[in-house]
């Protein structure tokens, strides 16, 4: 039996499965979970009984706090991510999936993308939403981005860094630090590992761990930058920002 079609609450496309093939958003339920009244696309509360259409409060409120606290990290990471593009940075249409009326073109079909492209696009979506402090969008797409990361055929240091930034955005500090540990287990001097550890320490107000991350970053900086790694070139603004903060801390 074919599932009845419904409208995606993010981009408005007609969908029949659990996720939208256009923007990747999970499909909202057609009826209220309490009284079964039909809900209009995008409704957050039932018009009949007032029951929330999706979980609210609790985790969203905590995540909103983490998003606000990580705003500087996200802004720098977004600049670095866009800096690797050959053309001038432009906001992709899928970054506005929560505002269908302002969309100028249909969002890309992520189901047709390869694993790495899908992960990169979802990472970009999460980072932009976090920069805008769009908590609902972050909560919607962060799990999808991390799921896409798990499906990668090959995982490099760049992908690990991106996944760590997503964990950091939603306050999953142990998971973010685990990515740093994996990076440093593969290369004990890789600058991304120290950056991630430093950002986690800063969010947790751990001054000792932050100072240690700064010191280890500076100790490895000259030799690592001479290695001319591609991921360093693509994230030069991140390296420059963290180095400036580390130098300031050392004074």
Q: Are residues 118 and 167 part of one domain?
A: yes
Give whole-number Cα distances, 133 to 68, 74, 88, 162, in Å.
7, 10, 24, 18
Query: What CATH number does the domain containing 173 carry?
Result: 1.25.40
Model pTM score: 0.64
| Per-residue tens of pLDDT for the chain, all 251 residues | 444 556 665 666 676 666 666 666 655 555 666 666 666 555 555 655 555 565 444 555 555 555 555 555 665 565 555 554 444 333 333 333 333 333 334 555 667 788 899 999 999 888 888 888 888 888 889 999 999 999 999 999 999 999 999 999 989 999 999 999 999 999 999 999 999 999 999 999 999 999 999 999 999 999 999 998 999 999 999 999 999 999 999 88
Q: What whole-number distance in Å separates Cα of residue 243 and Cα of residue 216?
A: 11
Q: Are residues 39 and 89 part of one domain?
A: no
Q: Are residues 171 and 72 part of one domain?
A: yes
Q: Which of 38, 54, 70 is the last residue of a domain?
A: 54
CA-based torsion, 83, 89, 91, 92: positive or negative: negative
> The domain containing residue 134 runs over which residues?
59-250
Q: What is the pLDDT of residue 151?
A: 92
């Amino acid at each position: 039996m074919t599932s009845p079609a419904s409208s995606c609450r993010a981009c408005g496309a007609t969908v029949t499965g659990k996720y939208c093939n256009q923007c990747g958003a999970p499909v909202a339920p057609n009826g209220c979970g309490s009284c079964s009244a039909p809900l209009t696309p995008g409704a957050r509360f039932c018009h009949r009984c007032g029951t929330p259409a999706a979980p609210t409060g609790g985790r969203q409120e905590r995540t909103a706090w983490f998003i606000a606290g990580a705003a500087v990290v996200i802004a720098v990471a977004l600049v670095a991510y866009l800096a690797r593009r050959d053309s001038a940075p432009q906001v992709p249409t899928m970054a506005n999936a929560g505002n269908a009326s302002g969309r100028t073109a249909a969002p890309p079909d992520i189901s047709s993308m390869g694993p790495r492209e899908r992960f990169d696009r979802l990472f970009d979506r999460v980072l932009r939403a976090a920069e805008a402090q769009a908590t609902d969008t972050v909560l919607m797409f962060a799990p999808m981005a991390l799921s896409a990361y798990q499906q990668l055929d090959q995982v490099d240091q760049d992908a690990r860094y991106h996944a760590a930034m997503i964990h950091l955005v939603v306050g999953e500090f142990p998971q973010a630090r685990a990515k740093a540990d994996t990076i440093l287990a593969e290369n004990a001097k890789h600058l991304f590992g120290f950056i991630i550890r430093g950002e986690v320490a800063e969010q947790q107000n751990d001054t000792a761990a932050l100072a240690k991350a700064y010191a280890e970053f500076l100790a490895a900086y000259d030799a690592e930058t001479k290695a001319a790694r591609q991921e360093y070139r693509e994230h030069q603004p991140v390296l420059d920002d963290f180095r400036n903060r580390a130098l300031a801390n050392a004074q």
